[in-house]
Structure 1
Amino acid sequence: MKLRVLGCSGGIGGRGQRTTALLVDDDVLIDAGTGVGDLEFEDLLRIDHVFVTHAYLDHIAMIPLLVDTVGEARSMPIVVHGSAETLRILRSHIFNWLVWPDFSSIPDRGNPFLRFQEMRTGESTHIGGGRQIVALPALHTVPAVAYHLKGEGGSLVFSGDTAYSEPLIAAINSIPDLRHLIVETAFPDALHELALASRHLCPSLLALFLDRIKVDPEVWITHLKPSRAQTTLDEIANYRGRFTPKALYNGLELAF
């Protein structure tokens, strides 16, 4: 499997600042933030699945536009995967005929442009070619999951937005072939209380998180807030554990 970073910022505000979107091979999105908007039409047309970590706007903003753009040109619906609560939020507050049309009933319910597929924590979804994606527990201010991507050459875990989470750490430690761990760190330590309140990580909490990891992945940092990104990275660089976390960036490709 191959993952390409389309967006990994915790906000907007400058050239290259795109919110969370990860393209797996050429047909699967993990979250669909503003980074999806940089793809060409032919690239958008290839996307068959969107796995959503949670329903916050920076992670789902481009799903409505994606479906609207390519729906009529496809022979099969785009499938959006997520927890029951995440899908309920999308149905109730996005695809509700008020904010956006309900593409799960367009052109009709028997032949829609969009289909929702509930995914429970621990459940594995096969997406063809021997590839699997497993929902892992995460801890955020709304129901959220992380994702474990299983390829023939190893595994990758994307934390999504999460606070320190023992169940997530346990799930990560159960993956012996983990090659890459993408983990969020939104705020610097000066905003430790804000990180706790909003259920994000800061460098000191990231250190606690990484110190509990027993497997040996390469660690990548995502979801840095643009105004504090360099400060946060400088603090992460002071980590003295066995990992050397590096910043994720748009265009980076990870193979596994």
Structure 2
Amino acid sequence: MSTNQRDHSAEALRFDHVTLEFPGGHQPAIEDVSFRVARRKFVAVIGPSGCGKSTILNLAAGLLRPTRGEVHFNGEPVTGVNSEAAYVTQKANLLPWLSVKANIGLALKFRRVPKAERDERIAHWIKVVGLTGFEDHYPRELSGGMQKRVAIARALIYDPSIVLMDEPFGPLDAITRLKLQQDLLNLWEEQEGTLVFVTHDLNEAIYLADEVIVMSKGPGTVHRTLEVPFPRPRSIGSLVESHEFSELYNDLWSLFKSEIDLSDASA
């Protein structure tokens, strides 16, 4: 096996000089974007609004096709919907007429998993995400944080090769967000899967990720990729008290602030 082949076998996701232009747009959504995500890594993507962060997830999921360049998943070009990717969006997007357990088990039902196995896995994930006792509740009866737990369980229950998350904790209050960040850390460290996580929150990127991709303002390009050196398992409470955390935050902020207009912070 060649060195190039070995490198590709270790990759979950690769963007090769990807540009995406929408019809009628005055500039590309992203332009000449290249990066790689190694298997079993947690990679955060940050950048100013409109830099194409969500576009990157949509390309990885196969929901969009590049105008130029290629997106590769597990060494193969993405040419259609990526059935091995789970997608958690900003909204929980639960089906309101289904109970918690039915929403969580939806992907298994679509994959024709036998009912006995399906019920067992649903029960396991309800316990894992702390929703025991709420199995038969409907989305309207849940708090925002609980709805997010359902969405995360639904994404992870079928053991996807890669999970794509688009600011899943953004609308939540600070305390709920911190709790879910730590819960996600614990779940991901147990699963050892690959995760690409879009966020505006610099703290969140450092808490969660192995690497942080910093995007430039539109048209979006990769400004820099920054390694997060903290070992796992991680405790958010311990991280924020460390001098190393402050140094990394300052480094990340220095990169990020050059891409935003602080005089127009309300935009």
When normalised by structure 1's length, the TM-score is: 0.33
Higher Cα radius of gyration: 2
Q: Higher relative contact order by CA 8 Å / sep ≥ 6: 1 or 2?
A: 2
More strand by share: 1
When normalised by structure 2's length, the TM-score is: 0.33
